[in-house]
Chains A and B, each alone.
Chain A
């Protein structure tokens, strides 16, 4: 699997290259600046891009902007965005086109190599990988306001959070140490309570959940 990597800090860039190569990825290009990133994305058309939000020369959100621009050129180009901080604002912008293949994680998540590599693979396959922090904030805003979210049981909320992060049924089952069947039942309950039309396709399902959470947070505010 070919990866384009954009990270301006030398240590982190080298660490990520080593980590990705150790897990069988090929680094098509490793760049340092926003303009370089955009060019690399458009010429290499990688299977997945791992991008730092803040890049030179302006040290603003150049990485994010380059990734969004590239996705407008190449529909559904899988991009995993890394940042020292996560913002609902950026998450919304990344999810706005509703095509999936989006990841948005705190840089710390790299510490857990297994989960990080899993997230990269998921994004490359067109899935989503949202940082638990983003989901937690989203749930917080949504559940502060009256709505069907309050009807969920604590376990169902846990399942919803993991689902929103982009986990598959089996991954959720493994994380919560329950059976696949139990997870499926919880998910069916959640969809009924939130009045979302269930979808067989796991990726579309995740997007529906995120759209629901975003929409609720947006509508009541």
Chain B
């Protein structure tokens, strides 16, 4: 019994001590947070106000002075803020890791290399610029606004001061008011009775003050915890890769997988039917003819010779059919030469004069090659059949992880995927690879159809070539 009571006594004391030390730690951390929030919030605002005021003072005599001052304030403010975006986020990440062991991974999308094109312009992956410096900054801004992690950091720059004020404020108020009560109570005054009402009120105010300080200290760790939670919500984009997004992606994948499986089954069925009705049947016929020849050899050599010629023709036809079938499954040129030459060969055989330009550093994965090849096949056939065009241009380009194919014709225009099954078939074919199809057409032409799909090439080696067909 005694042991229990003693342990419970020590544990209460220990608990109280640890609660108080946690409170102290919490208070210290809140102070750190408050200080840390200063550069991200106060500096940009301060810089903006300072530069604005300075400019307005200098330009007082001009009408546009105020406007210019505002402009300058905005520019300086956002520049200082931009400089603090990553620092603020990283500081928060460091604090979370130190205090709670929460690791928030900062994964940025790779920034594409600046590319110099043939005309001496810098390509940022999004836009062209004459000057390299401009291109660099344009790319930085564009990339920063697109990158999910950087966007989260931007948001955090805005949210951080608000959260800090919202959490530090109440705690500071509790402590401040509590301290005021505690100290204001026992102010020495002339003679009052230990039991007078004055004494009671002093005691009450001291007790209230101490309680408020204790509550403030107990709440401080909770406030830090809440801050960590808020930071995690904002900064941890991948952890937040929200349920809705994942659900949407799963639905997408389910659909494209069903399409792919369906297509494949239909393809196999078609191949089976073609073999069954074509080459297989011909081989049976050849076998029968050979049997007859065997029988006729001794009796009617003339007839046997005729049948031999027939058998040979049959085998040639069977080969022709197999060749056509193979072309539909996987065109030999595609296997031998890759996408560029396969499309050139296609253009040579096309009913319409077609100009092909290929800029592919290397070969895309085989399934992507096949999907793109058959899509282009379909588009060329469409252009020949429906557009009334005199000329088609096919452009194959690989840049920044995307394979982009444009097929342009000078025909009558208006290609609408809701009208034909052809374009929808292409969309489905590309969907398996997260590819998209877009149509740019007006009545009277021209029509440009763009296919775009993400893919990796086998090795980086750039070669550009043009060919006419």
Which chain A residues have a beta carbon within 8 Å of chain B's beta carbons? 53-54, 59-61, 83-85, 87-89, 92, 107-108, 111-112, 137, 141, 144-145, 217-218, 220-221
Contact = CB atoms under 8 A, between A and B. Distances in A.
A142 to B, nearest CB: 11
Contact of A84 (B315, B332, B347): B332
Interface string B333-359: 101110001001101110101110000
B355 A221 contact: yes
Interface stretch (B137-145, B319-327, B396-404, B454-462): B319-327
Contact of A85 (B323, B337, B355, B391): B323
Contacts of B469: 217-218, 221
A88 B348 contact: yes
A145 B353 contact: yes
Given A88-B348, A221-B355, 16 more contacts: A54-B336, A60-B336, A83-B332, A84-B326, A84-B332, A85-B332, A88-B349, A89-B345, A89-B348, A92-B348, A141-B348, A144-B351, A145-B353, A217-B348, A218-B469, A221-B347
Q: How large is the interface on B (under 10, 10 to 19, 20 to 34, 35 or more residues)?
A: 20 to 34
Most buried by A among B337, B348, B468: B348
B337 A141 contact: no
Contacts of A144: 351
Contacts of A220: 353
A60 to B, nearest CB: 4
A96 to B, nearest CB: 12
A212 to B, nearest CB: 16
A112 B468 CA distance: 35
Nearest to A91: B348
A221 B468 contact: yes
B348 A54 contact: no
B316 interface: yes
5 contacts: A61-B337, A85-B332, A85-B333, A111-B316, A217-B348
Given A85-B323, A85-B326, A53 B353 contact: no
A221 B333 contact: no
Nearest to B318: A108
Contacts of A60: 335-337
